[in-house]
Amino acid sequence: MYYKLYIDSVFIQQMAINLYLLSLAGQIMRRTATRRRVWLGAAAGAGMSCLGIMLPVFTMGSRLLLTAVPVSMCMMCLTYRMYGVGNLFRASLIMAAAGFFLGGVMIWILNRLRPVVKGRGGLFLTLAAGILSWLLLRALLFRLMKKRDEGLRTVCFYVPALGQDIRVRAFVDTGNHLIDPVTGAPVSVISRKTARCLASCLSQEKYHAVPYRSVGRPCGILPAYELPEMVIEEAGYTLKREHVIVAVCDAGISEKSEYQMILHPGLLEN
C-alpha cells in the first residue's frame, strides 16, 4: 500500500502544531521567547520532520518515532535557549505530554466538525481544530497555574550567624497535618537545601522528633527543629511567627523545584 503525501501540506500542518506545542510547553515551564524565536523553532521542527519522513529507511511510523525526541529537543533549544541533555530531554517530555492532550482534543473537535463540512477542506479543518484545541488547553493551563500560584508564599528566615535573611518560596499544603506530638504546634517541611542555609539556627537543643505517615510508608520519624522567628509575606502584608517548628525532608521537594518549603496552613491563621 502506498500513500501520497504533499510535502507542503505536511510542512504547514507540522509547523502549526509546533507553534501550539511550543506555546503550551513554554507556559508549563514558565519560559518566554520572542515571536521570532518561536516561529524559528516551529519552522526548524517542521523542516526536520519532513526530512525524517523522506528518509528511505524503516517504516513511516518508525521514522516519526525515532525523530520525535531529537526534533523536539532542537526546537526547545532554538526557541527557549535551553541547554544540557537532561534539561532538553525533560522539556521534550513536557512537549510530548502537551501533544498528547492537544491531539486528543483535536480528534474530539474533528469528529464533530467532519459531519458538518462533509469531508471538505481537510487542511483548513485540521488547522481550525488545532487552534481551537490550543485555545482551550491554554485557558485550562492558565487557570490551573493561577490556582497553584495562589498557594505559593514568600517565607523569610533570619539567620543569626550570617546576620541576614534567607528568602525561600513556600507551598501552602492544605493536606499537611503534621504537628509536634508534645506541644501540638504545626510543623512545616523544608528541603535539605534550605536546611543547609539555616544550619546555624538548627541547634540540637531545639531538636524535635516528629512522627509522620505518607504514601508507601505507614510510619517514620522526621528530624525537626524550632526556629526563633519566621516572616510570611502574602498578598502585600506580612505575618510574623515565633518559635516555628520545621522538619527536614526531601520527599516531594527537589532542589530544582520552584518552592523549597511546604508550609503548614495553620501558620496562616490569625
Is the overall model pTM greater than 0.85, yes or no? no
Please provide the size of the chain in residues.
270
Largest CA-CA distance found in the chain, in angstroms, rounded: 77
11 & 110 share domain: yes
Grid cell 513536557 in the structure block, residue: 94
115 & 155 share domain: no
Q: Which tens digits make up the pLDDT trace of 36-93?
A: 999 999 999 888 888 877 777 666 666 666 777 888 888 889 898 888 888 888 888 8
Q: To which H or E segment does residue 40 belong?
A: helix 35-54
51 & 129 share domain: yes
Q: Is residue 2 part of a domain?
A: no
Full residue range of the structural domain in which residue 214 is found = 151-268
Q: Which tens digits make up the pLDDT trace of 145-167?
A: 777 666 677 777 766 656 677 78
Q: Is residue 1 part of a domain?
A: no
- pLDDT of 121 reads 55
123 & 81 share domain: yes
Q: Is residue 126 part of a domain?
A: yes
- pLDDT of 251 reads 64
- pLDDT of 159 reads 63
Q: Which tens digits make up the pLDDT trace of 197-241?
A: 888 777 787 888 888 877 666 778 888 888 888 888 766 677 888
> CA 17 to CA 127: how far, in whole Å?
8
171 & 97 share domain: no
> CA 220 to CA 174: how far, in whole Å?
21
17 & 138 share domain: yes
51 & 139 share domain: yes
Give the 3-state secondary structure percentages of the chain, helix then strand then coil, rounded to 5. 50, 25, 25
> CA 62 to CA 157: how far, in whole Å?
54
Domain with residue 207: its CATH number is 2.40.70
Q: Is residue 187 part of a domain?
A: yes
Q: Which tens digits make up the pLDDT trace of 178-201?
A: 888 888 889 888 888 888 888 877
Look at residue 119 and tell me whether its pLDDT is greater than 60: no
36 & 97 share domain: yes
Strand, coil or helix: 185: coil
Q: Is residue 230 part of a domain?
A: yes
- pLDDT of 39 reads 92
Distance of CA 256 to the CA centre of its chain: 11
Write the CA distances from 250 to 37, 77, 260, 269, integer angstroms.
37, 30, 9, 26
14 & 110 share domain: yes
Question: How many domains does the chain contain in total?
Answer: 2
C-alpha cell at 30: 514558565
11 & 111 share domain: yes
107 & 216 share domain: no
169 & 84 share domain: no
Write the CA distances from 238 to 167, 230, 270, integer angstroms.
13, 10, 12
Which value, in Å, is the radius of gyration of the alpha carbons in the chain?
25
Q: Is residue 215 part of a domain?
A: yes
- Terminal CA-to-CA distance of the chain, rounded, Å? 72
Q: Is residue 79 part of a domain?
A: yes
Give long-range contacts, CB 8 A cutoff, 24+ apart: 218-223.
Answer: 222/178, 222/187, 222/189, 222/247, 222/248, 222/249, 223/247, 223/248
Which residue, of 147, 175, 209, is where some domain finishes?
147
